[in-house]
Each structure stands twice: as C-alpha cells, then as structure tokens.
Amino acid sequence: MAQAALKARSYRLVEEVETEVIVGPGAVRVLSEKLGGRDGAFIVYDRGVPRQLLDAVKAYVGASTRVLGYLAGRGEGVKDLGWVKRLWEALLSSGATRGSVIVAVGGGALLDAAGFAASTYMRGLDLASIPTTSLAMMDAAVGGKTAVNLGGFKNVVGTYHHPRMVVADVKVLRELPHRVFLQGLAEAVKHAALESKARLVWLESGSREVLERDVEALTRLVDWSLSFKMSVVERDYREGGWRRVLNLGHTVGHALESASGFTLPHGEAVAMGLSVEAELSVDIAGLSPGEAEDLRATLRSYGLPTEPPKDLLAKAAGALRADKKRVGDKIVMPLLEAIGKPVLVEVGVGELESWLKSKASS
Ligand SMILES: NC(=O)c1ccc[n+]([C@@H]2O[C@H](COP(=O)([O-])OP(=O)(O)OC[C@H]3O[C@@H](n4cnc5c(N)ncnc54)[C@H](O)[C@@H]3O)[C@@H](O)[C@H]2O)c1
Ligand SMILES: [Zn+2]
C-alpha cells in the first residue's frame, strides 16, 4: 500500500526585542518617566551598591509606578537556584504579573540572576537593568544572556532574555575600588580590537581620563562599549555564529581563570587571554606582530596585565577541555586576522594544549 503523503512545513519565528540603552551621569532619573503604565515594579539589588544610588532608584521608580517589593543579594552568590526561587516567591506574593517589571540594580552577577528570574516567572516579564560595576556597564548588561551556576559550574543554566531598558549611571563607577574598576576595561579593549585600528588608538589615547574616572570620558567609553556589543548581537542574537567573536580572549582567559581556582578576576584573566591569543593569532591567523603589540600596549595603558605567570599558563593548558565551546576534540575560537578583522577558527584542543605548554616553558 502506498504511504500517505506527509505534510511538512517549517516556520520562521522572529522575536521582536527592543532594548533601550541610556548612559550618563545621573541617568537613573529617566526611571521616573519610563515605567509609567506598568503593573508595578519589583526592585532587586546587590548589597554592595551605594545607598545613594539605591535611594535614587527607589524614588524614581516609585514616582513612575507602584513598588511591589524588594529583594537583596550579594555578588556571585545570587546566581543560585535557591536565590532565584526566593525571588520567584517574592514576586508571586507581591502580586507581580506579566505586566510588571523587574528593576535590577547591581553587577553582572545580580543582572544574570535577575534576568533568569525575569525570563522564567510567568514565562517572562520585562527587565530593566541598572548596571553598577564597570564589567556590567561595559559588557554584561546587554546581550540578553541570563545565567545561574549549578554544582560548582558557572553559567550552566540560563536563557536569553533581553532587558527592555539598560540605564548606566556612570557616576557610580567613581566609587568602585580600583581593582574592581579595572575588570570591565579588559572587555572594552576586546571590543576595540574587534572593531577597528582607529578604535584601539582612540581607546588608548583616552586611558588617562578614564583612569582618573572623568565622568565625560566614562560616559563616552560605556556608551561606545555597549553600542559596539549591541551591533554584534543585533546580527546574531542567540550566538549561532558571528556573535562568537565576542569570545575573543576568553578561551585562554577562562582557562586561566579556572586554573587559578577562580582567584584571578575575570577582567585580568581576559586581558592576559587577549595578549596570549594575539600571539596565537600571529602564529596561525595572519595578525602582524606589530598589531599584536598595539593590542598589548592598549591593555598596558589601562594597567591591565598581559603576561600570565608561566606556571598558571601551564595549568591553563590542562583546563581547556572543560571549555563550554569544545565540541569533541575541537574548539571554534575567534582570533584576529588583523585588528578589526576577527575570524572564527576551528582549533584542535590537543594542538592548543601543546601550543600553550610550549609557551609556558619558553
Ligand atoms: N550576561 C553576560 O553577558 C555576562 C557577561 C560578562 C560577565 N557576566 C557575569 O557577570 C558576573 C561578574 O560581574 P561583576 O564583575 O559585575 O561582579 P559582581 O556582580 O559579582 O560584583 C562584584 C562585587 O561588587 C559589588 N558591587 C556591585 N556594585 C557595586 C558598586 N557600585 N560599588 C561597590 N561594590 C559593588 C558586589 O557586591 C560584588 O561583591 C559573573 O557572574 C559573570 O558570569 C555576564
Ligand atoms: Zn568576559
């Protein structure tokens, strides 16, 4: 008997997502006019955030809509399903609906966890992000990745959920301890290396003002860094392809971080990762030695490290197999053909291990 014809169709589903990004000193005042019409706002914040900023956020949000409740947490500890469950429960008992908004005030960790809760509570409600560290302002606040840690592994559980609004009040960066402030700058250097030679020159020439935390210089830097990241994310918002260039410096960077038992801060690990991957780019992707040196000089102009200790590098070689980007024996990693010209290269894990080991013993 002839088989019945199958009916097959495929559907292309396009998600309409818009993120508004507002950057500058005193930017949180926009919250007083941006949340009108919402069914209330639930505020979550990191306990490290200065009181003054938090009070301003509360007042502006309260002027715009009903404040449903608050939940606080601190640093990486919030990226835990236990904390997220507390947030879900608090949202439920506060009467939050799909028309409400979560206003998240904190560093990358708090934004990751609040974003995860926002994307899952009632299958998704809006998120307004107020980044308060340099890493969150330069990088983590946009792009829509949300995450919690599981079983001692970072970012194992997560979703994509773009914030409706990102409000970066750069004045808060003036208060950050120096070493915390440094961490976001490595991501800015990464963005410049991906964008163009001229941008790298621009970044290096502005390093003094940025390190003095001049408010205008910080506004320019954060505004550009976020808009560069968004220009990449717009092309590929779920990391199917091109977005992977944002992992520049992160293959070696993550391996160094994990080899250090996570005592090495992320930005410093990425700075060393960028420097080592620039050398690899010279060896296998056509980057000129002069341009690799330009990248290192820009890192140094911000006081970022470029030379990983040899013993850590040797240990990092052994940590490559744990990379989330590994598929079988290969890792697809971005390298530079030139400054401003990233390429995605498939590299054998074994070869990369030996290359790092030889560098560590040279
Ligand atoms: N979603 C993404 O695309 C993305 C990108 C990069 C990093 N991340 C994640 O971001 C996290 C790191 O972010 P982070 O570097 O902002 O760290 P963090 O959020 O852990 O904050 C660092 C410390 O600073 C404190 N803090 C926050 N704001 C402060 C302020 N204004 N003044 C003083 N102290 C303050 C916090 O209490 C914490 O102890 C990691 O969990 C990482 O996985 C996510
Ligand atoms: Zn990073």
pLDDT tens digits for 238-276? 666 888 999 999 999 999 999 999 899 999 999 999 999
> For 145-172, how does the pLDDT look when each residue is reduced to its tens digit (9 = 90+)?
999 999 888 899 999 999 999 999 999 9
| Known active-site residue 161 | no
Is the distance from CB of 136 to CB of 75 less than 8 angstroms?
Answer: no
CA 256 – CA 277 distance, rounded (Å)? 12
Give pLDDT, residue 237: 66
- Among the listed residues 171, 247, 257, 315, the single catalytic one is 247
Average pLDDT score over residue span 342-358: 95
Q: Which long-range contacts (CB under 8 A, 24 or more apart) does 306-312 make?
A: 306/271, 306/272, 306/274, 306/275, 307/272, 307/275, 308/256, 308/272, 308/275, 308/276, 310/360, 310/361, 311/360, 312/256, 312/259, 312/260, 312/264
| Known active-site residue 123 | yes
CA 24 – CA 21 distance, rounded (Å)? 10
| Known active-site residue 145 | yes
Lowest-pLDDT range, 61-65, 78-82, 234-238, 297-301? 234-238
Give pLDDT, residue 315: 95
Give pLDDT, residue 1: 63
Give pLDDT, residue 238: 66
| Known active-site residue 307 | no
Give residue 269 CA to ligand 2 midpoint distance, Å: 9
Residue type (1 letter), 280: L
Domain 20-174 has CATH 1.20.1050.10: no
Q: Would you kindly state where each structural domain of the chain is located, as residue ranges?
A: 20-174, 178-360
Give pLDDT, residue 4: 86
Return the ligand 1 atom nearest residue 175 CA.
32
With a 6 Å cutoff on the Cβ, whether 163 touches ligand 1 is no
Domain 178-360 has what CATH class? mainly alpha
Task: List the residue whose alpha carbon is closest to atom 23 of ligand 1.
Answer: 75
* Mean pLDDT, all residues of the chain: 94
Give pLDDT, residue 105: 98
Task: List the residue whose alpha carbon is closest to atom 35 of ligand 1.
Answer: 48
| Known active-site residue 229 | yes
> For 170-216, how does the pLDDT look when each residue is reduced to its tens digit (9 = 90+)?
999 999 999 999 999 999 999 999 999 999 999 999 999 999 999 99
Q: Show the CA angle centred on residue 170, arms to residues 59 and 190, nearest 5°.
A: 140
Ligand closest to the CA atom of residue 190: 2
CA 270 – CA 222 distance, rounded (Å)? 18
> For 6-20, how does the pLDDT look when each residue is reduced to its tens digit (9 = 90+)?
888 878 766 678 899
| Known active-site residue 296 | no
Q: Exposed, middle or buried: residue 198 (CB in 10 Å: 0-12, 13-18, 19+)?
A: exposed
What residues are paired with 148 via a beta bridge? 157
Residue pointed to by tokens 């818009």 = 18
Return the ligand 1 atom nearest residue 267 CA.
15
Q: How far apart are the first and last CA of the chain?
A: 72
With a 6 Å cutoff on the Cβ, whether 180 touches ligand 1 is yes
Task: List the residue whose alpha carbon is closest to atom 26 of ligand 1.
Answer: 48
Give pLDDT, residue 284: 96
| Known active-site residue 357 | no
Task: List the residue whose alpha carbon is closest to atom 7 of ligand 1.
Answer: 140
For ligand 1, mutation pick of 51, 180, 228, 262 (most atoms within 8 Å of CB): 180
Give residue 185 CA to ligand 1 midpoint distance, Å: 13
With a 6 Å cutoff on the Cβ, whether 115 touches ligand 1 is no
With a 6 Å cutoff on the Cβ, whether 172 touches ligand 1 is yes
Give pLDDT, residue 294: 98
Give residue 190 CA to ligand 2 midpoint distance, Å: 9
> For 1-50, how does the pLDDT look when each residue is reduced to its tens digit (9 = 90+)?
678 888 888 787 666 788 999 999 999 999 999 998 999 999 999 999 99
Give pLDDT, residue 152: 82
| Known active-site residue 250 | yes
Ligand closest to the CA atom of residue 78: 1
Residue type (1 letter), 321: R
CA 104 – CA 262 distance, rounded (Å)? 25
Q: How confident is the model at residue 326 (pLDDT cuts 50, 70, 90)?
A: confident
> For 110-153, how does the pLDDT look when each residue is reduced to its tens digit (9 = 90+)?
999 999 999 999 999 999 999 999 999 999 999 999 999 998 88
Token pair, residue 222, equals: 């954060």
CA 34 – CA 19 distance, rounded (Å)? 13
